[in-house]
Chain A
């Protein structure tokens, strides 16, 4: 607490915080709110009862009117706060007749009380709907989407790490003719975004018979110029003496790669792994084109299809949005340092 006070009262000059200090803090705090509020709003909304989610004006927290069972009434009744002669009592609403509300005291169900509707307001309590999350996983295809996304992300990341580290190894630890040309060719693929070659890339996947197949989503993504670049730059810092020593011990080239170089590249591999997981988990346009049957959809494509089909089912849409956001958030909370350092050092995303 004292550190916060300290922090907020920190000054640039001797004469207390000046205008730019205040403006800076204003900018940062408003910015933080703008980042946080839409996500927080979606998160709390995803917990609301389906009947509450579209209410306007909305309540920020997931609350719902309290329903109670009253002796002598078959269906449950809503609990309302009624003002009678200056007293506030909690009564159950039986029905409205014009501007009169017929109410009953739950403690004393025998007698009905008439109260003007202007004097009553609903009693609300925190009410969370876990079914927003469980229903889509059970009744709709979301469990399948989730499995597909996990499969694509895992496979693509493992293959990305393996293929890119092998190429980076060749480009950093060997001297051979054409090495620089190869490096330039690989880096030049940065200039060819998927959105430009999408039609012919689709044909290639058709030709490989991988349409509507998760491998058709995985394979085109596993060779990444940024990955090769990142790993190569890192491997260049590994001393060649280690490799020479291993060669003298008659280790095979693959063994040198696997046992000597790769363990030393672990920090860069970790950065690439984090990026790869996030990239593949979030991919949208390419899976949207390659995958056709809902059984094969990834979470992103499935979520998009679902929101198009059930536009009014916001309680489900938001719950699944949160489900899709969760793994990335967990990664971010724990590994944020590595991600930001990785970007600042290489400019990749």
Chain B
């Protein structure tokens, strides 16, 4: 054991000197005052190459056509990708659109966001209130509800698909109480219901944790004062808890919306690719399939859809920043 430790120590020391020697050399050349830039450089290079460069490229992609990935091989087509996405006779009926798949995905995503956000907010708020109230076992239950957050979306999708399987546990419970079996994942309503339910199951622990932190930041003496005054409990909730929690809830709300717009992984695995049919095909899946999973790889069209989604996310983020500032 000690041998392993000393070996590891030597190894780490050796690795450190690989980094340390060039750092010290650079310091001798440029002087200590410029060193912060050297420390930031690797991070900035990664951000530059994998985040900022792609943002710039995204715009170029959105204005070019063809199926080549290399930008110089792609013909400039102006706004064609956008007109293709947005040419609709009636924006509320996807099949009247030229790119009906995009509008189906938009419609599915909008419904998903509305229902998931409201469901998640309700469930997390109730759970946080309950956890704030109890005096013992808080740590345990907080941990229980948080555990699914750490699971991989693929695992979550598969665990639930198995639970909801025709021969699964839920169907056997249904039969036990005298009902018919339901093939959940082939039914439009039930598959949507479960995609939303599983999303809430998956992530509610995270939002509960944030709301709980907000609840525990409310000074206890306010409650004590209310108790002395004999204020009814529901009034305490509507007149003290809720207003004081508002800034926290707003952050949760916007965070939730930003995340839900990007729904993909667990829904994709749970519904085995967005089915039945296109009932659970969301925006990110549309982008993924348009660019990477179809025979004709329409990078330009996918980029135009990404730009549209990016604009929505940007607006939501700006709202969040504005509200956060107002709350301060």
Which residues does A use to contact B, with CB under 8 Å? Answer: 7, 10, 20, 24, 27-28, 31-32, 34-39, 41-42, 45, 54-58, 60, 162-164, 166-167, 169-171, 174, 176, 179, 182, 185-186, 189, 191-193, 195-204, 206, 208, 219-220, 222-223, 228, 252-255, 257-258, 278, 281-282, 284-285, 288-289, 300, 303-304, 307-308, 311, 314, 317-318, 321, 324-325, 328-329, 331-332, 336, 339-340, 343-344, 347, 349
What are 28 pairs between A and B in contact, CB < 8 Å? Answer: A20-B133, A27-B126, A41-B163, A42-B159, A42-B162, A170-B35, A176-B37, A182-B44, A186-B44, A189-B51, A195-B287, A196-B310, A201-B50, A202-B292, A204-B49, A204-B50, A204-B57, A206-B69, A206-B70, A208-B49, A223-B51, A252-B23, A284-B153, A285-B265, A321-B159, A340-B146, A343-B210, A344-B212
B66 CB, nearest partner CB in chain A, Å: 13
Report B128-153 residues with CB < 8 Å from chain A CB: 130-131, 133-137, 141-153
In the complex, what's the smallest C-beta–C-beta distance from A164 to chain B, in angstroms? Answer: 7
Q: Establish whether residues A314 and B162, one from each chain, have CB atoms under 8 Å apart when the complex forms.
A: yes
From B147, B171, B206, name the one whose CB has the most chain A CB atoms within 10 angstroms.
B147
Known: A31-B144, A42-B158, A289-B288. 7 other contacts (CB 8 A): A28-B137, A56-B166, A196-B310, A223-B47, A252-B20, A252-B24, A324-B154
Shortest Cβ distance from A337 into B: residue: B139
| Chain A residue nearest in CB terms to B206 | A349
Q: Are A336 and B146 in contact (CB under 8 A)?
A: yes
Cβ-defined contact, A324 with B50, below 8 A: no
CA distance A311 to B175 in the complex (A): 24
- Complex Cα spacing A257 to B20, Å: 10
CB-CB contacts of B235-277 with A at 8 A, as 1s and 0s?
0000000000000000100000010001011000100110000
B78 within 8 A of A: no
User: B143 near A340 (CB under 8 angstroms)?
Assistant: yes
Name which of B93-101, B218-226, B298-306 contacts chain A: B298-306
Report, nearest first, the 7 A-B pairs whose CB atoms are least far apart.
A200-B57, A282-B152, A170-B36, A223-B46, A200-B54, A170-B39, A254-B23
| Of B47, B292, B310, most A-chain CB atoms within 10 Å | B47
**Interface size band for B:** 35 or more
**Which of B32, B126, B152, B169 interacts with A284 by CB under 8 Å?**
B152
Residues of B at the A interface (CB closer than 8 Å) are: 16, 19-20, 23-24, 27, 32-33, 35-37, 39-40, 42-44, 46-47, 49-58, 60-61, 69-71, 126-127, 130-131, 133-137, 141-155, 158-160, 162-163, 165-169, 171-172, 175-176, 201, 206, 209-210, 212-213, 233, 251, 258, 262, 264-265, 269, 272-273, 284, 287-288, 291-292, 299, 302-303, 306, 309-310, 313-314, 317
